[in-house]
Structure formats: structure tokens, C-alpha cells
């Protein structure tokens, strides 16, 4: 049964409207002023409101404005009763939000016709709102699904680390920060470490690929637990990982690289209660900076060359691609970079 709210300060008008609408089977509530009308509208949430324009305390225009600006009431069909016939008056009413007008004195047949039309429009509006809500929920689900798919497309499923695609997206955006000549720039250096598990094929051959996967997960977990807070760790492919660390200069890169190497080499990977597999890693690194401005491809190439140098020299090594600033400082001091594990002993994680 449709609910209709009547708001009119004239007792006779309220009575006539109420009886006419009740005979048509409507649930009718009648109040005598705009303030009571607003309270009743918020309590009842009627399907339609019939309101007199001229009333004390709060007139029909103000009540209409209050109704139409309330998101919970704005879809209610609003009929304004008036004796005004000027076009300017009707324009004012429509601008306020009124949906329809009824001129006084009220013709019962016209009243019922406009009420039927208003209720039909109100039903359509409710159905439209329901459809819009369903569409919004579907869009939210679709957005969440797309975000999940995007997240999965950037995540290595075995280790949970970011994958090669994520690296290829991020690295070009990080590099310009390292090329800033402003000494107050956030990142004057960007170091890229390529980490490769030594003799990983032998692990798969001797223990099987399931054990190999377990070793990869254990290495990823150990590296992730020990990297600097501003480092980003990626699984680049196979048994190869990449660590990107902004803001680390060549001297500290040596210390950090040796620290990462020793983190893996210091104890074997426990696969099961009685199976321990000694694992070592080789690391090559390169640094982009204002002294060594590189694109992402060349930075990866330099780090890769340093990695192969570490492998040629016996594996379980860290090697840093020569950096102009660092080599210049070494020449001035007549020293050379050290790969001694003693450096790592003095290294405190930030």
C-alpha cells in the first residue's frame, strides 16, 4: 500500500485530501505544518508528499528544499499545492525541486491522476536506484577483481616476491631520481644487485624440483627478512633475484652486498628434519648516479657483468661494477675495494 504524506495548515484541505486518497487504498498521514512534515518524512519515508506552498513556520518551498537535499529522501515524489498561476512561481517551485503542481481549488479527479503518475514515477526511480546500486556493487567487484589480477600479474607465485614485470615497470621511474644533480635530491644513488644461487641445477638434479622450489622460497624469505627497509626485492626468473636499493653509495654498496651474500652462506637451508643443503649466492651490482647516468637496460647489463665476474672468480662472491666516483676516490687514496667479510661485521642494518 503506497504511503502518502499530506502537509497543509488548512484543516478542511487536509481532511478532503485524506479521505479522497484513503478511498483509493492509500496509507495517508496528514500534518499541519512544514516542521511536522519534515519530521514525518524522515520517520515514514513516504512514497509521495502533497504539500501546500503557503504555510507558517516552514513553507512548502523550504520543506521541498529540505526533502530534495536529503539523500535518503530526495527520490520522494513531491506535489506542491498552490493558488499561484504565474509562470515565474512555477519556475521557482521547479527550481526548488518540486516534481508536480496542483492548483487550488483541487479537483479530485486531477488529484488522483497526478498521484497515480507520481507513484509510477516514484516506483521507476526506486527501481533505477536499486539498479544503480547493483551496478555500483558490480563495478566495485570488478575493480577489486582487476586490482587482484594486476597484483597477481606483478607477483611471483612461488616466492610471493615482486616479479620481472614489476621490476620492468618500476625501474625506469626510479632511475631519474638517481640522476639529479641537486645535492638535496632524495636519491643521489640507485644500486641494483643481481643475486644468483650457485649450482642451483645440482639441487634440482640431486633432490628434485619440489626441493628446488623449497630452496627458492627459503632464499627469498631469508633475503626479504634481511634487506634494508627501503630495498625492493624481485624474483627475476629461475634462480635469479634482483634487489634495488636507493640512496646507497658505492662504499656502502660493498658492505651491503657482502652482508647479503653472507646472510645466505652462513648456514645451510633446512629442507626437512634431516636434510640440510648448503647454499651460496653470487652477487653482481651496479650503481646509477649523477656520476654514472644509466638507463634501466644498461644498469642491468652492468650488474649482470659484475655477477658473471663473481662466478668466474669462484662463486660465493660479491662484485660491484666499477663506479667512476668510487674508482676516483680509490685512486686518490691509493686503495682498492675490498671483498673481505670483515666489512660486513661493521655493518649495522638501518
Show which residues are catalytic.
Answer: 239
Q: Cα(325)–Cα(55) distance, rounded to whole angstroms?
A: 84
165-204 CB burial, b ≥16 within 10 A, e <16: ebbeebbeebbebbbeeeeeeebbbbbbbbbbbbebeebe
Q: Cα(87)–Cα(201) distance, rounded to whole angstroms?
A: 88
Q: Cα(84)–Cα(104) distance, rounded to whole angstroms?
A: 8
Q: Cα(287)–Cα(298) distance, rounded to whole angstroms?
A: 10
Instruction: Please choose, from the candidates 24, 23, 21, 16, the residue with its C-alpha nearest in 3D space to the C-alpha of residue 4.
Output: 21
Q: Cα(255)–Cα(293) distance, rounded to whole angstroms?
A: 22
CA–CA–CA angle 191, 165, 154 (5° rounding): 105
Distance of alpha carbon 69 from the chain centroid: 31
Cell (9 digits) for 134? 547493483
Residue 37's CB: how many other CB atoms inside 10 A?
A: 28
Distance of alpha carbon 188 from the chain centroid: 29
Q: Cα(229)–Cα(284) distance, rounded to whole angstroms?
A: 20
Only one residue has cell 479530485, namely 108
Long-range contacts of 295-298 (CB under 8 A, 24+ apart): 295/172, 295/175, 296/168, 296/171, 296/172, 296/175
Amino acid at each position: 500500500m503506497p504511503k502518502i504524506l499530506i502537509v497543509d495548515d488548512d484543516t478542511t484541505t487536509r481532511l478532503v485530501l485524506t479521505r479522497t486518497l484513503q478511498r483509493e487504498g492509500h496509507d495517508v498521514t496528514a500534518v499541519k505544518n512544514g516542521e511536522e512534515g519534515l519530521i514525518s518524512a524522515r520517520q515514514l519515508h513516504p512514497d509521495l508528499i502533497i504539500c501546500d506552498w503557503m504555510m507558517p513556520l516552514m513553507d512548502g518551498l523550504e520543506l521541498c528544499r529540505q526533502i530534495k537535499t536529503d539523500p535518503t529522501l530526495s527520490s520522494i515524489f513531491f506535489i506542491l499545492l498552490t493558488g499561484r498561476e504565474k509562470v515565474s512561481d512555477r519556475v521557482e517551485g521547479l527550481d526548488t525541486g518540486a516534481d508536480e503542481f496542483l492548483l487550488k481549488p483541487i479537483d479530485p479527479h486531477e488529484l488522483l491522476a497526478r498521484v497515480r503518475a507520481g507513484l509510477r514515477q516514484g516506483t521507476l526511480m526506486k527501481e533505477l536506484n536499486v539498479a544503480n546500486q547493483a551496478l555500483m556493487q558490480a563495478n566495485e567487484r570488478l575493480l577489486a577483481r582487476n586490482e587482484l589480477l594486476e597484483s597477481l600479474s606483478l607477483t611471483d607465485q612461488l616466492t610471493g616476491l615482486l616479479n620481472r614485470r614489476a621490476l620492468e615497470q618500476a625501474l625506469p621511474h626510479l632511475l631519474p631520481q638517481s640522476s639529479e644533480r641537486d645535492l638535496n635530491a632524495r636519491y643521489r644513488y640507485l644500486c641494483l644487485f643481481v643475486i644468483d644461487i650457485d649450482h642451483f641445477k645440482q639441487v634440482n638434479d640431486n633432490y628434485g624440483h619440489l626441493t628446488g622450489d623449497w630452496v627458492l622460497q627459503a632464499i627469498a624469505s631469508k633475503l626479504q627478512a634481511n634487506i634494508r627497509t627501503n630495498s625492493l626485492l624481485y624474483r627475476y626468473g629461475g634462480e635469479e633475484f634482483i634487489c634495488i636499493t636507493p640512496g646507497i653509495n658505492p662504499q656502502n654498496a660493498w658492505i651491503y652486498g657482502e652482508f647479503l651474500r653472507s646472510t645466505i652462506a652462513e648456514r645451510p637451508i633446512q629442507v626437512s628434519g634431516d636434510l640440510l643443503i648448503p647454499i651460496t649466492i653470487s652477487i653482481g651490482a651496479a650503481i646509477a648516479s649523477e656520476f654514472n647516468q644509466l638507463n634501466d637496460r644498461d644498469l642491468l647489463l652492468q650488474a649482470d657483468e659484475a655477477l658473471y665476474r663473481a662466478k668466474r672468480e669462484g662463486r660465493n662472491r660479491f662484485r660491484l661494477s666499477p663506479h667512476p666516483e668510487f674508482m676516483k676516490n680509490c685512486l686518490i687514496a691509493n686503495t682498492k675495494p675490498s671483498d673481505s667479510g670483515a666489512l660486513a661485521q661493521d655493518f649495522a642494518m638501518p
